[in-house]
Amino acid sequence: MSEKKFETLLVRVSKGVGVICLNRPTRFNAFDLKMYEEVIEALAWAASNPSINVAFLTGAGAYYSSGNDLTNFVKPFSEGPEAAKKMAKTSGDILLRFVNAFIRFPKVLVAAVNGPCLGIAVTTLGLCDIVYAAEKASFHTPFSALGQSPEGCSSYVFPKIMGPAKAHEVLYMGRKLTAQEAYERNLVTAVLPGDAEQFQKEALARTMQLAAFPPQGLVFTKQLIRSQEKATLEQVNLAEVKLLEERWVSPECIAAITNFMKQQQKKRTVKSKL
């Protein structure tokens, strides 16, 4: 039996492909602490499972993922500096391990971005090998507005992918990219047509074709390519996480996130009254 049970993920093996589907659709597949841990676990499982040649990451429902679940921060921020500090440390630890799981994944990793994609779900695409995007996918990293700084090695990888002038528009200015723009900026391998279901079917079919190639050739090629950047990526990950841990306890960042959460709350209240 090649399936494995998770709370926040749907996982299966099909024709050499290990499918990992983010499955918190009511929360737009936001990453709470549980989902961070389970993705780390699922990648370890895919790495060691001999019937998996290629891993395939996608999202259930309308979103690929809305990124870091900021509700993680609400309670600690309201409880004062000590609770905020503790939260920052916990979040930093898990983020470090989560991004390292992408950096160190030893097989080819395909992402199929079925819909909108935010924050950490965008930045880790730069650590995937092949990225398919649905026409309705979008890519948004609003770090600056929230007083935060980039993660997922995007501070290093995005300038290499897009060129600095266009990467900085994304990293500093929070420019939201359409699927076509993300393709033009080389974040995306190909934009595939069709609705969410057709998109995932086509992306998976292409991934199965890839998984049908001689598997050791793929694995050793991946390790060859990644070996050239691995040490640098691990250092960048560490530097990014250390900075974020400082940002998360800074008055500037706490004020920005708290203000953002209040506005979200208001929007929800207005909506529920309509």
When the beta carbons of 70 and 213 are compared against a second copy, the nearer one is 213
Q: Could you tell me which of 202, 209, 190, 205 has the C-alpha nearest to residue 53?
A: 209
**243 makes contact with a second copy (CB under 8 A):** yes
Instruction: Look at the block and give the residue holding tokens 């974040």.
Output: 187
Of 172, 198, 231, 263, the residue at the interface with a second copy (CB under 8 A) is 172
Within 152-213, where are the H helices? 154-162, 164-171, 179-184, 196-211
Of 23, 149, 200, 237, the residue at the interface with a second copy (CB under 8 A) is 149
**50 makes contact with a second copy (CB under 8 A):** no
Number of Cβ within a 10 Å radius of residue 106: 15
Q: Calculate helix-pair angle for 251-273, 230-248, nearest 10 degrees.
A: 80
Of 145, 180, 263, 266, the residue at the interface with a second copy (CB under 8 A) is 145
| CB of residue 68 to a second copy, shortest distance in Å | 15
For the chain, how big is the Rg over CA atoms in Å?
A: 18
Applying CB under 8 A, the span of 10-18, 55-63, 93-101, 210-218 interacting with a second copy comes to 210-218
Q: Could you tell me which of 127, 185, 179 has the C-alpha nearest to residue 159?
A: 185
Tokens in use for 255?
């004020």
Q: Calculate helix-pair angle for 154-162, 230-248, nearest 10 degrees.
A: 120
| CB of residue 222 to a second copy, shortest distance in Å | 8
Of 44, 62, 173, 205, the residue at the interface with a second copy (CB under 8 A) is 173
Lay out the sheet containing 138-140: strands in order across: 116-118, 138-140, 177-178
| CB of residue 66 to a second copy, shortest distance in Å | 20
Of 25, 231, 246, 268, the residue at the interface with a second copy (CB under 8 A) is 246
Q: What character string, x for contact with a second copy (CB under 8 A) and - otherwise, covers 107-136?
A: -x----------------xx-xxxx-----
Applying CB under 8 A, the span of 34-42, 76-84, 86-94, 241-249 interacting with a second copy comes to 241-249
- Between CA 116 and CA 175 the distance in angstroms is 14
- # of chain residues touching a second copy (CB under 8 A): 64
Q: Applying CB under 8 A, which residues contact a second copy? A: 108, 125-126, 128-131, 143-150, 155-157, 159-166, 168-169, 171-173, 185-190, 206, 209-210, 213-218, 220-222, 224-225, 227-228, 236, 239-240, 243, 246-247, 250, 252-253, 255-256
